[in-house]
Structure 1
């Protein structure tokens, strides 16, 4: 399958992956990203450390709840999600890690809300394994780890078997379908009944919640926390969202059943805070509140990050090539502006229009390119606090644009 057209047929044949092309260009790279056992261990260590830091952050916020209002300024429905979760936030996450030109490993963020990439990580590695003899597939056991996570999460609430799972996702977004298909396939292979639908298909029952009228034991939530609540513009010239109202009825139904311990939610709604990029600023602005060990990990793995309300805008203009602007809940694209890759005029306009309470400025770091000039973004999946697999995206210009996905292998043979 060294011909991309042949590979594309194999992609379609999986029944899970789709769209081998994006905007007319190959979406995947056939040549794997080969990492050494040493680098794999370093990346796993970094991902687990960053997850630990987010747990430490949550414990600080539970002890000092006034920060939720003073530091984050969450909307009423976002505060409701946080309070209902009772500090529960983690199940499945993906740490986006980069090997820098100076040898450091930096984490630009921990995707703790609705992390993606799992189907590509598993099936792409499987499809290209034969072309990489002698290499170890680090994602081979991901499905088993995924199922273990859901069962353990369910077992914390009840000793009854996990038999019915509801997957809630934005049904209008086709790019999520491969993930829903993968999750469903893994669950159904274990004899677990799966129901899929949108938040609008949720309703409260006397004993829990139902999705499309079918009672479920566990909700696998792949619908972003900031979409459940009020949707606010982050740019001064933005017109706002046409659907800016919170999903009041389904959200209250799910939160109530969760609080009453009648349903398990993965990921828990506490991710409304850990996904918020102001948490990255909290690490640096409130570093003295963390233990000495945690402070070392912050300096080691988290790039310097500050709320836009706390850093001089003149400084940002003068130091354009040293900073990246990121909105609180935005991802790549219009809500991330990388100073070194835009003109001074674009940078100054972005600073002018960014609503300060919704943005952070994060220190830019130079990524070490591979032998072909690609810039690797190593997404390390974390399940229940432990590293569980790799998802590598490669780009030529920056980490946010023109990315392709490569299979990821560890060099050498398993012991």
Structure 2
């Protein structure tokens, strides 16, 4: 996302008043001792270890207040987009040509083709309120969405949401309900990363409290039992929660085992959801679903224009640098996203040359103007992060940043809904 620039030498259109979203903020209202106790509890009781990163607080000590009407718009948008993505996935999950265009690694194609359609889904869609009155989604986090701990932990610890407000923090119950039929749940994650472990520990607690057995491990720990039942570290499992990037799967030492039996394991999220996770999804979605009026309306309302990276068009991308965002199909926390409006011509040119070497892995997305919001520390660019579990809205994980670009440096902001 970014304030949209204009092509070189072309005058920008006249400025229009920013849309009034009705968002507001208010401080936590905690004294120093209360705030210290809240953070201690968040770290030790809710496993949110990274409340500070590189010496900086990773949360804004304020609450973002969302009007009820806007909340309903968010819910309608994310649930509609989730349903539309399911229809798209059904059409393309076994289409090799489309999977190639989406940048999905070839070794994964047979796995995606064999996976049955299942409802298991834990996703997060970050909606950006924009000056033109649209809630824009630049990509979908359908693979490894983070933020469980603070999404549920902060409302629990803060208690009263304030006069005339309510929390929307149903993530725990939604996830537990989704695994109601699984006696034993495998929690699969990238075991080298503490930030991934903190997510697994809170899930472990929630599932255990609900009466499930759990086993934590890496996808590398999947084996086939003598009866053909999937096992994690020797423990038979009835389902799994995957917190491990799909594009990393072919590197696993037991990737052959996944190829033989991965489709048998009910998993949140299934590898089929990589077609939704790809940042190139907007590039092909409209084309594939041209006969689906509901999908086209959602794309018009929420999706930025996205083009394939074409090596012979590099001079155009140079000339129109402020207008575009360059994205690799798969990446984490903004590590393969270059915003033309926020970098020097030299950095932009280097990024274009990198993309030129492997053009099929990249796309360009047109910028959009995000409406800033005033916080105590000044004007920041917000996003309404909405969790979606099995197609239904399940709570907010909102963030804000000093620049209109979300990376690992974006700050979490607790979110409440203002009653009518």
User: What CA distance in whole angstroms lies between the structure 1 residues aligned with 2:31 and 2:312?
Assistant: 50
- Give the distance between the partners of 2:299 and 2:276, measured in 1 at CA: 15
| Alignment of 1:24 onto 2:55 | yes
Cα distance change of structure 1 residues 129 and 320 upon mapping to structure 2, 3 Å threshold: farther
Query: Partners in 1 of 2:385 and 2:115 — Cα distance?
Result: 26
Compute the displacement of 1:218 (Å): 0.8
Mapped contact 1:98–1:378 kept (Cα < 8 A):
yes
Say which of 116, 120, 141 aligns to 1:111: 141
Instruction: State the match for 2:110 in structure 1.
Output: 80
TM superposition score normalised by structure 1: 0.86
Give the match's secondary structure for 1:374.
Answer: strand
**SS in structure 2 at match of 1:30:** strand
In the alignment, does 2:264 pair up with 1:257? no
1:180 Cα deviation (Å)? 0.5
CA contact (8 A) 1:68 1:74 kept: no
Q: How does 1:78-227 map to 2 (within 5 A)?
A: 78-88=108-118, 91-130=121-160, 132-139=162-169, 141-151=170-180, 161-205=181-225, 206-227=227-248
Hey, what does 2:374 align to over in structure 1? 371
Task: Give the superposition deviation at 1:39.
Answer: 0.9
The question of whether the paired residues in 2 share the 8 Å contact of 1:50 and 1:110 is answered with no
1:385 matches 2:385: no
Match of 2:72 among 20, 41, 45: 41
Q: TM-score, normalised by structure 2?
A: 0.85
Distance 1:294 1:96 in 2: 18
- Contact 1:16 1:178 (C-alpha < 8 Å) held by counterparts: yes
State the number of aligned residues.
382
C-alpha contact (below 8 Å) 1:44/1:387 kept by paired residues: yes
For the residues of structure 2 that align with 1:311 and 1:110, how far apart are their CA atoms? 28
Q: Tell me if the contact between 1:78 and 1:272 (Cα under 8 Å) persists in the aligned partners.
A: no
Q: Distance in 2 between matches of 1:42 and 1:221?
A: 29
Provide closer, same or farther for how the CA distance between residues 87 and 24 of structure 1 changes in structure 2, counting only shifts above 3 A.
same
Separation in 2, partners of 1:288, 1:9: 49
Distance of 1:122 and 1:368 partners within structure 2? 27
- Structure 2 residue corresponding to 1:51, chosen from 82, 101, 106: 82
Aligned to 1:247: 252
> Does residue 407 of the first structure (1) align with residue 405 of the second (2)?
no
Equivalent position SS for 1:389 = strand
Structure 1 pair 277/311, CA: closer, same or farther in 2 (3 Å)?
farther
Distance 2:312 2:128 in 1: 25
Unaligned runs of 5+ in 1: 152-160, 230-245
The answer (yes or no) to whether the contact 1:28–1:406 under 8 Å persists in 2 is yes
- Report if aligned partners of 2:186, 2:237 keep a CA contact under 8 Å in 1: yes
1:228 aligns with 2:249: yes
Contact 1:60 1:289 in 2 (8 A): no
Secondary structure, aligned partner of 2:285: helix
The answer to whether the 8 Å contact 1:89/1:270 transfers is: no
Q: Secondary structure at the match of 1:115?
A: coil
Equivalent of residue 397 in structure 1, options 403, 408, 419: 403
